[in-house]
């Protein structure tokens, strides 16, 4: 069941419904660098690759 509050385009994540939504009830977002200053410095820590 898609979580309509979380839009995501990472279609190679096992939690993505392939229609731009995440199916998890909540996610954790982290930083890819020490201190995020740009969008690209953030990342979804709930990502799991397709099996």
> Which residues are near ligand SF4 by CB under 6 A?
6, 8, 10, 13, 15-16, 22, 24, 27, 44, 46-47
How far, in Å, CA of 35 to CA of 41, rounded? 8
- Give min distance, CB of 35 to ligand SF4, in A: 21
- Give min distance, CB of 38 to ligand SF4, in A: 18
Beta carbon nearer to ligand SF4, 35 or 45: 45
Other Cβ atoms closer than 10 A to 44: 17
- Among residues 47, 6, 44, 50, which one has the least CA distance to residue 25? 6
């Amino acid at each position: 069941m898609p979580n309509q509050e979380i839009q995501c385009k990472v279609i190679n994540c096992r939690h993505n419904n392939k229609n731009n939504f995440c199916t998890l009830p909540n996610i954790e977002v982290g930083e890819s660098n020490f201190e995020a200053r740009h969008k690209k410095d953030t990342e979804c820590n709930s990502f799991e690759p397709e099996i």
